[in-house]
Amino acid sequence: MTNSENSSSEASRSPNWALYALILPAIFVVADQVSKFWALDFFKNKFGTPINICADPEFGGVSHEVSTIFDLTLLCNRGVSFSMFGGEGDIKRWVLSAFALIVTAFLIYYVSKVKDRLSALSFAFIIGGSLGNVIDRIRFGAVVDFLDFSEIKFNYVFNIADSCITAGVIGLILAAIFIKEEPEEPPKP
């Protein structure tokens, strides 16, 4: 086999499924959950808010200035990204959780179909971010958000899981723009 045949065979092979569908998303979920636990613990020690504060639908948030561009602001997001579809309701909580789990299952399956590492990595980010937020939604009925850059006019409070989802979407856009799929060649007789 020549080098060019070896390269083309490598390019058409799917990336390592377990790495992109299980291992990396698990790492992202752990990072997200540890950061949220740290934030909840910080606000518990600084302001006396209970660790399960996001289970309280009446909680309005609390903020701590860290620097001139960054604050820690504990908010409980009962909606989806950037608090869209927010509000109360146990049915909405479970419907959003079920929807996120179904989409995540589809993405885990789809990772085995992609042929480039950027798309696979992007899906890994989205899977990890989705699962990180689903854990909160199931546990508290809301997603724990705490990273706040509103001082520099980014008026959304978010978390590591949201960042993973955003990075994944950006990666998929870049893959769609820059990675061209090579047509599969029929087997040589």
Could you say which of 32, 136, 145, 148 is catalytic?
145
Q: Is 41 a catalytic residue?
A: no
Cβ-based neighbour number of residue 12 at 10 Å:
14
Could you say which of 32, 136, 148, 162 is catalytic?
162
Cα distance between the two ends of the chain: 15
Q: Is 145 a catalytic residue?
A: yes
The strand pairing partners of 54, in sequence order, are none
DSSP assignment of 61-113 equals -EEEE-SSS-EEEEEEE-SSGGGTT-S--HHHHHHHHHHHHHHHHHHHHHHTT
Q: Residue 145 and residue 71: Cα distance in Å, rounded?
A: 12
Find, among 80, 61, 81, the residue nearest to 72 by Cα.
61
Q: Output the six-digit token pair for 119.
A: 């798309």
Find out whether 39 and 74 touch, Cβ atoms under 8 Å. Answer: yes
Q: Which are the catalytic amino acids?
A: 145, 162
